[in-house]
Amino acid sequence: MAKRIKVDKDVAKDRVDKIFPLLKKEYPDAKCALDHSNALELLIATILSAQCTDVRVNIVTKDLFIKYRSASDFANADIEQLQEDIRSTGFFRNKSKNIIVCCKSIVEKFDGKVPDNMDDLLSLTGVGRKSANVLLGNEFNTPGIVCDTHMIRLSRRLGLSENKDPVKLEFDLMEVVPRKRGGGWTLFSHLIVWHGRNICKARKPDCPNCVIADHCPSANDPNLW
Q: Is 120 designated active site?
A: no
Q: What is the pLDDT of residues 79-117, one digit of tens each?
A: 999 999 999 999 999 999 999 999 999 999 999 999 999
Kindly report the CATH number assigned to the domain that includes residue 205. 1.10.1670.10
Higher pLDDT: 204 or 48? It is 48
Give a yes or no: residue 89 inside a domain: yes
For the segment 121-132, what is each residue's pLDDT rounded down to a tens digit?
A: 999 999 999 999
Instruction: Name the catalytic one among 85, 95, 130, 172.
Output: 130
* Residues 75 and 129 grouped into a single domain: yes
pLDDT at 4: 64
Q: Which of 222, 181, 148, 159 is nearest to 21 (CA)?
A: 181
Active-site annotation holds for 119: no
- At 225 the pLDDT is 53
In a domain? residue 51? yes
User: What is residue 224's predicted lDDT score, i.e. its pLDDT?
Assistant: 60
Can you give the pTM of this predicted structure? 0.91
Look at 111-115, 151-155, 181-185, 186-190 and tell me which has the smallest mean pLDDT: 181-185
Range of the domain at 77: 39-139
Q: Which of 35, 54, 73, 148 is catalytic?
A: 148
Residue 1 pLDDT grade (very low, low, confident, very high; cuts 50, 70, 90): very low
